[in-house]
A = this chain, B = another copy of it.
Amino acid sequence: MSNMNGAESLVRTLVASKVDVCFTNPGTSEMHFVAALDKVDGMRAILGLFEGAVTGMADGYGRMAEKPACTLLHLGPGLANGLANLHNAKRAQTPIVNIVGDHATYHAQYDAPLTSDIQGFARPVSGWIHSSPSPKTVAADGARAVQASMSAPGQIATLILPADTAWLESDGPAAALPINGPSPVSQVAIDTTAKALKSGKKAAIIIRGAALKKRGLIAAGRIAAATGARIMCDTFAPRVERGAGLVMVERIPYFAEQIVETFAAIEELILVCTKPPVSFFAYPGKASWCTPETAAIHYLAQGHEDGVQALEALADALGAPKDPIHVAPLKLSDLPKGKLDQFSAGAIIAHYLPEGAIISDEAATSGLGSAIATATAKPHDHLSLTGGAIGQGLPLATGAAVACPDRKVVCLHGDGGAMYTLQSLWTQAREKLDVVNIIFANNSYAILNIELMRVGAENPGPKALSMLDLHNPELNWVHLGQGMGVESVRVTTAEEFADAYVSALKAKGPRLIEVML
């Protein structure tokens, strides 16, 4: 007898396992977990007004904290609302302990209205799923979920919590389980890759995961110095350290034919915790597989292996110089005047970007300007839309701000995608999170105007074009932001944008700037 219900035993176990932030939108079946938040010190609970916001926040938190937050979602439909951003988190290999309340074990048989196949909903996004059968096991199940979520490189562990396992008497909390970090890479892989790079053939190294932070990048820059290999990352890398003082990484372009051209001359393709590049979508007559048939492909490190160690060992095996090449200089963009477009906005964003900023980037077709300009801005982290499920940027920024309260978060977002999870703004206001939300308002699903042509849908008519157009009626992001308690402003010139941006960077708490394109 522990005098402690299952919910409390679970919360105590999570805190003991260093999971101390819970992003949630709870319902009746989660009320005991919610009540336990006051009985246990050390768990911060953050409310989102929609589960797509909740799971996106957990992703942003996990990418920056490098440990899981937990979610707390309400049965199948609550989980379902969070699935799209869990898909993005899965693609980002973010550790998340995804807790879903369920009907009491004995209640499922009655097929009450909220009953659904929770495991079915969870399976496509989860690396680990378990439904707790008893209040006696829920604590141990929680410890296993944390451990599973941190299984390298990171994954979503879904723990389903029937209401009676939360309210019945438990046996008390469980101890934290050991976290197994990434595996070391084999010497064979290092030797093989070193040999390939010494061949003098044209080589590219594509890196993903933790090796896109400073230490891995230095090793990559040393390898480049020794071999001339190109240092690259996926189009949608979960997290990259960029800016002055960091080794620059070439990002693989988006469109199939650009990828093919990028890799056309490559003879040796080295992969570090990633896969060969493929087209995001299929297009009639265009390549899906984008590596030349003649290139040799080498997996230096698989996803669960230690990419940093692999790159450092490879640099040493190559006798690479101590200092990397491709180190970005600090070169602040000039401040443009007049016309406001993604390039003038990008220059201004980069010019004032504070050191240690975190950029959550779902700017889509409006993102090139800032991507170019921030390459030589002060050092920062860049988080991208990993799974193509739009509506990630605002919650990702929100979660990153929770993980890193001393860093400024800048969210770059297209208006179409931002509408998906705009509820995130309310959480930013409630938690007074330090996020500057920049909405690029082109009143369009602009990418689809490009894609419509690219897929060969010729001469689109007015109905088709109207499905891509958001002008009728025009969204007003100042109203939307203010409706959720975020100070918001609309800007139409470069000068207005610079003023609003500088003001937002100086302030504490969230701001929204609607950039009229």
Residues of A within 8 A of B (CB): 24, 26-29, 31-32, 34-35, 37-39, 45, 47, 49-50, 52, 75-78, 80-81, 83-84, 87-88, 91, 103-104, 106-107, 110-114, 116-117, 120-121, 123-125, 163-164, 167, 236, 275, 278-282, 284, 288-289, 386-389, 391, 416, 419-420, 422-423, 426, 429-430, 447-448, 451-452, 454-458, 460-464, 466-468, 470, 472-480, 482-485
Contacts and interface: CB of A to CB of B under 8 A. Distances in A.
A452 B28 CA distance: 7
Contacts of A483: 475-480, 483
Given A38-B464, A280-B112, A474-B485, A31 B288 contact: no
A385 B29 CA distance: 18
Contacts of A24: 467
A283 to B, nearest CB: 9
Contact of A476 (B31, B35, B275, B482): B482
A129 to B, nearest CB: 12
Across the A-B interface, give the 5 residue pairs with the lowest CB-CB distance, nearest first.
A38-B461, A473-B485, A77-B389, A479-B483, A104-B282
Contacts of A468: 34
Contact of A462 (B28, B38, B52, B458): B38
Nearest to A479: B483
A275 B38 contact: no
A29 B281 contact: yes
11 contacts: A38-B464, A49-B419, A81-B83, A81-B389, A81-B420, A113-B280, A116-B125, A117-B124, A167-B456, A420-B423, A476-B482
Contacts of A35: 452, 457-458, 460-461, 464
Given A49-B420, A81-B84, A104-B288, 9 more contacts: A24-B467, A45-B466, A81-B420, A110-B279, A112-B281, A114-B280, A116-B124, A116-B125, A479-B480
B484 A475 contact: yes
Nearest to A418: B49
B114 A124 contact: no
Nearest to A420: B50
Copies of this chain, count: 2
Contact of A112 (B278, B454, B478, B482): B278
A120 B484 CA distance: 35
Contacts of A284: 164, 167
Contact of A281 (B28, B422, B451): B28
A135 to B, nearest CB: 12
B76 A80 contact: no
B451 A31 contact: yes
B103 A87 contact: no
A426 B456 contact: no
A104 B283 CA distance: 8
B473 A426 contact: yes
A106 B76 contact: no
A78 to B, nearest CB: 8
A38 B463 contact: yes
Contact of A455 (B167, B423, B426, B467): B167
A84 B91 contact: no
B32 A112 contact: no
Contacts of A423: 419-420
A88 to B, nearest CB: 8
Nearest to A480: B483
Contact of A110 (B110, B164, B278): B278
A134 to B, nearest CB: 15
Given A38-B462, A80-B80, A114-B389, A107 B279 contact: yes
Given A35-B460, A83-B83, A164 B113 contact: no
